[in-house]
Amino acid sequence: MHPDVQKILLSEEQIRERVKELGQQISQDYHAREVLVVGILKGAMIFLADLVRNLSVSTYFDFMAVSSYGSGTKSSGAVRILKDLDKSIEGKHVLIVEDIVDTGLTLKYLVENLKSRNPESLKICTLLDKPDRRTVDVQVDYTGFTIPNEFVVGYGLDFDERYRNLPYIAVLKPEVYQG
């Protein structure tokens, strides 16, 4: 275990099993259709890489990067696009792949933004959900794990750009956040 980690919330094994299940469910739901997976950088990259290898439907992907609100402006809901999609999604079956839904503000913005581009369908898949923190209503179609209101890192999620490479989801020791 990494020395900065206080506890492992979700092990590699638990994540692998759940991602496999999600892949099967999504493959069933989309069956003969092609799915355009839209990964939200950077947090969702590892989840996306594992998820798409569990999809049996024809899949292609694109990426978006959005700025998360800075600390202290949590309720502003201001989201900025840092990197937009490469191609049009008009008429496509789009599946947004997110790392975590917290307040829901980022996802609400993304859904509204992508809906305005006229996809054939738009669904959301998130690895983690912290429902206690939700301030806006967003409908998530596929959720990996519902977790308590704790700040987590690993499997793509960072603290100050670190810990994304941990193969599990973990909570850090308090002294790490105090820097």
Q: Is 23 exposed, middle or buried (0-12, 13-18, 19+ CB in 10 A)?
A: buried
Rg of the chain on CA atoms, in Å: 16
Cβ-based nearer residue to ligand 5GP, 1 or 24: 1
Interface residue with ligand 5GP, options 39, 43, 119, 144 (CB under 6 A): 43
φ/ψ (deg, to 5) at 166: -60, 135
- Contact in structure between 133 and 120 (CB atoms under 8 Å): no
Contacting ligand 5GP within 95-124 (CB under 6 A): 98-107
State the minimum distance, in angstroms, from the CB of residue 68 to ligand 5GP: 5
Cα–Cα distance, 8 to 100 (Å, whole number): 17
Cβ-based nearer residue to ligand 5GP, 38 or 107: 107
Interface residue with ligand 5GP, options 12, 29, 141, 158 (CB under 6 A): 158
Q: Residue 56: helix, strand or coil by DSSP?
A: coil
Number of residues that bind ligand 5GP (CB under 6 A): 18
Token code pair at residue 23: 């892949």
Does residue 152 belong to the site contacting ligand 5GP (CB under 6 A)?
yes
Cα–Cα distance, 168 to 152 (Å, whole number): 10
Decide if 158 is catalytic: no
Instruction: Please list the active-site residues.
Output: 102
Interface residues toward ligand 5GP, by CB under 6 A: 43, 68, 98-107, 151-153, 157-159
